[in-house]
Amino acid sequence: MTPNTAMGGLTPHDRWFVPLFGGTVLLAWAALGVWDLSPYAAYLRHDWTQIGIAASLCTALPAGEIVGPALLYAGGWVLMTAAMMLPTTLPLVIVFRRVTRDRADRAWLLALLFAGYLSVWFAFGIMAHLLGLGLLVLARASVWLTFNGWVIGAGILLAAGLFQFSPMKYRCLDGCRSPLAFVFARWSGERPMWESVRLGVAHGAYCVGCCWLLMLLMFIVGTGSLGWMLVLGAVMALEKNSRWGRRIAAPVGLVLLIAAAGVVVA
């Protein structure tokens, strides 16, 4: 298949897939809404600015203080990632489907692509969780930090704001914004299953590379906040998919720097 064929207008085959894809994303958001109303909502609402004061969170489960909450957190994180990040993958998914549309195993290859993509975000969520545990250890050792969690929030806002101006941000963003080149650089069809996973992992790595500090903002506004999920998800989708997305990185960074300064002053 040529690049021009891959990037043509929507085919009849695509017209049912796009609503199905959108419905899956909406289902993920609906599941998060149900989670938010459930007794287990607290296990996804990590707030690093309160981590010292809330050090005994997640003790009510039979599995104990670590295993049960960690499993709930992992499931919630994957669901949150699907809701927030899958919409940003649609251009790449459409290109990949067209490249593989003549294959009998195309549905399986697409599933492997999604599995590779989500596995990267899952790994990032685990690392973020470990970072939170490290902050918890620091908070338990420092009375001052226990009652001054705003320092953590200000630091993440500052780092996220500065990162919006970094070369790495723009390099990863350009990779995410070029789905055709991204697919054809990594797909030959000789080892389809492996290449599908590798393509998903690579795209996930680029997405994490351009959005990881924006996602860490969820840990200072509360990872269970549906409102903030929608705001940050929209920002990342605009950055990656809109024609002028590359140009909004700097204004977003400026807003984050002002927010960091506001936290310090307040």
Residue 258 CA to residue 263 CA, distance in Å, equals 9
Radius of gyration of the chain from its Cα atoms, rounded to whole angstroms: 20
Full pLDDT tens readout for the chain, 266 residues: 433 444 445 555 566 777 888 888 888 888 888 877 777 776 666 667 765 544 444 333 444 455 666 677 777 778 888 888 888 898 999 999 989 988 889 899 999 999 999 999 989 988 887 887 788 788 778 878 777 778 888 999 999 999 999 999 999 999 888 899 999 999 998 999 999 999 999 999 999 999 999 988 888 776 657 778 888 888 998 888 888 888 899 999 999 999 999 988 87
> Cα 238–82–70 angle (5° rounding)?
130
Phi, psi torsion values for 149, nearest 5 degrees: -65, -15
Contacts of 139 (CB under 8 A, 6+ apart): 51, 52, 55, 145, 146, 149
**Burial letters for 33-70: b for 16+ Cβ neighbours within 10 Å, e otherwise?**
eebbeeebeebbbbbbbbbbebeebbeebeeeeeebbb
Q: Which of 131, 128, 148 is nearest to 53 (CA)?
A: 148
